[in-house]
Amino acid sequence: MNRVELCYDAAFSDLKKLGINAPKDRISLSINQRAKRRLGCCKLNRSDIRQKYAIEISLVCSNLNDFELKNIVMHELIHTLPGCMNHGAKWKDISRRVNAAYGYNITTTADYSKIGLDGAVSEPIYNYKVTCESCGQSLYRIKRSKIVRNPGMYRCSKCGGFLRVERLDGKIYQQR
């Protein structure tokens, strides 16, 4: 049994002690060797009559201590509970209960520098910059998403201004 499986069993046991029953028989656990920017994910497979979950923990987590690894595993395990696939009120409530009962530090996102992974996780390479022509607010995109392809269909969330998309190699990609 590897460290991730040991942390998974411990996290599952902690939930059970709180009277929270995760569907252990419908969860698969694996190590994702390709993920570079996320520490874990929980995927829901609805193709079966009984919903099944696949929890993936990134290989970069093997550098973490047991406490941090267990936090990540528990974070993903909570997603398997009814109504917790997102980081909504129910997910946050259960996270708070687990944190209070066992001293976990489960949050919606991880601060890589606080858990000692600041150099192990690659920084995203943004290819596009979307800027409001009115207020100058900018956002960045890695992929050629809908807002990048069709900026004229969107407006700035801050002021309602028109958006301009620029490739970060310096060429203007598309005007409104």
Helix (H) or strand (E) holding 142: none
What DSSP designation does 138 have? E
Which segments of the chain have a pLDDT < 50? 175-176
pTM beyond 0.75, yes or no: no
Q: Which residues contact residue 129 at a Cβ distance below 8 angstroms, ignoring those fewer than 6 apart?
A: 138, 139, 140, 141, 165, 166, 168
Report yes or no on 143 lying in a domain.
yes
pLDDT in tens, 15-27: 999 999 999 999 9
Angle at 91 between CA 87 and CA 92, to 5 degrees: 85
Same domain, 143 and 87: no
Token readout for 147 is 């807002």
Token readout for 109 is 């996102």
Domain count for the chain: 2
CATH code, 70: 3.30.2010.10
Report yes or no on 116 lying in a domain.
no
Q: Domain span at residue 169?
A: 128-174
Report yes or no on 121 lying in a domain.
no
pLDDT in tens, 87-118: 999 999 999 999 999 999 999 988 777 887 76
Q: Which of 56, 54, 6, 2 is nearest to 32 (CA)?
A: 56
Report yes or no on 118 lying in a domain.
no
Report yes or no on 120 lying in a domain.
no
Same domain, 23 and 92: yes
Which conformational region is residue 6 in: left (phi greater than 0), alpha (psi within -120 to 50 degrees), or beta? alpha
Report yes or no on 148 lying in a domain.
yes
Residue 110 burial (CB count, 10 A)? 21
Report yes or no on 96 lying in a domain.
yes
Same domain, 140 and 57: no
Is the separation of the CB atoms in 3 and 73 below 8 Å? no
Is the separation of the CB atoms in 39 and 109 below 8 Å? no
- The pLDDT of residue 169 is 75
- The pLDDT of residue 7 is 94
